Amino acid sequence: MGEAAYSDESWQSADGLTLHYRDYPGRDDRPPILCIPGLTRNARDFEPVADAFAGEWRVIACELRGRGDSDYARDSASYTPAHYVEDIAALFDAAGLDRVVAIGTSLGGLVTMMTAAGDPRRFAAVVLNDVGPHIEEDGLARIRDQVGQGRSYPTWIHAAWSLKEASDKTHPDYEIADWLRLAKRLMCVGGNGRIAYDYDMKIADPFARDGDGDGDDEGGDRAAAASGAATDIWPVFRALRGRPVLALRGELSDLVSPATFRRMQEEMPDMDAVTVPRVGHAPTLEEPVAQDAIARLLARVA
């Protein structure tokens, strides 16, 4: 995996951060695929998408502020979806993007929906990867316990085993080689030679500022400092109507319940709703079921 060729590019946020994205070349007669990662993820998360579709499609895999090779925020209070939406709008301008096929995993899906609420014309189609307008509290509690812990490991095998212990229920069929591959997407070698998660630990700060501790995978409880999990974001989801939409849900997901997934289909009957078997939050998009569903969506756009 990760064999598709790309160039490293950057853009500037409104508050002066240099943010990073991978640009995989593809046909210029189709809208590019814009991949927006989850809370603690980075551009490497979308290597399976690039390997499968780059060349026929231009693939842009961005890194939100505080992740991967993007600058860390000067003020951790800016680690909120509202700022991420502003950053993505700046990326559209800097990269000369008109309309895109967005693939948003978790937080990235929320950012996609919020961006569409402001200007739905930006999107030719959308993939929501294990995210919806309602987030389950059990999943939120798990995220609160894990994010921003600052753990590090002496070797990649140590990192892989730790990841397995923390996330075994998410990928019950993974072998150690799979965990090692996932660890190399989530982590990097730090300046001290130890292996650590590839994000600013201060992205957890909005959770701590949330007075009742009710943080979530997309942020905290306060409307602007969080995913909106405690607010009504069904209207934001409805902003996607009128364009091809694919919703993916991990069969074992603790973030998106079957009931929420059913309501999403009721709200948007034309949406392609696909459950990815034997995986929790979130599908890695290398699963054949997920890739087949993305290919169907792209065929509608092409």
Q: Quick: pLDDT tens for 132-188.
A: 999 998 888 888 888 888 899 999 999 999 999 999 999 999 999 999 999 999 999
Rounded Cα distance, 248 and 42, in Å:
19
Specify the pLDDT at position 94: 96
The predicted pLDDT at position 2 comes to: 63
SS3 209: helix
What global pTM score does this model have? 0.93
State both tokens at 203. 């992205």
CATH of 7-136+223-301, one of 3.40.1500.10, 3.40.50.1820, 3.30.428.10, 1.10.10.10: 3.40.50.1820
| Cα–Cα distance measured from residue 7 to residue 300, given in angstroms and rounded to the nearest whole number | 28
Residue 231 binned pLDDT confidence (cut-offs 50, 70, 90):
low
The average pLDDT across 117-127 equals: 96
- CA distances (Å), origin 68, targets 19, 189, 208, 216: 9, 12, 23, 21
Q: What band does 236 get if pLDDT is binned at 50, 70 and 90?
A: very high
Read off the pLDDT band of 216 (50, 70, 90).
very low
pLDDT in tens, 52-96: 999 999 999 999 999 999 999 999 999 999 999 999 999 999 999
For residue 160, give every residue at least 6 positions away whose Cβ sits within 8 Å of its Cβ, in sequence order, or none: 176, 179, 180, 182, 183
Alpha helices in the chain (DSSP H): 47-53, 81-94, 107-118, 137-146, 156-167, 176-186, 205-209, 234-238, 258-267, 288-301
Dihedral angle at the C-alpha atoms of 168, 255, 128, 223, nearest 10 degrees?
-140
DSSP state of 31: P
Find the DSSP H helices in 125-203: 137-146, 156-167, 176-186
Bridge partners of 195?
Answer: 153, 189
Q: What is the pLDDT of residue 220?
A: 34
pLDDT of residue 1: 55
Tell which residue, 9, 66, 17, has the closest CA to residue 34. Answer: 9
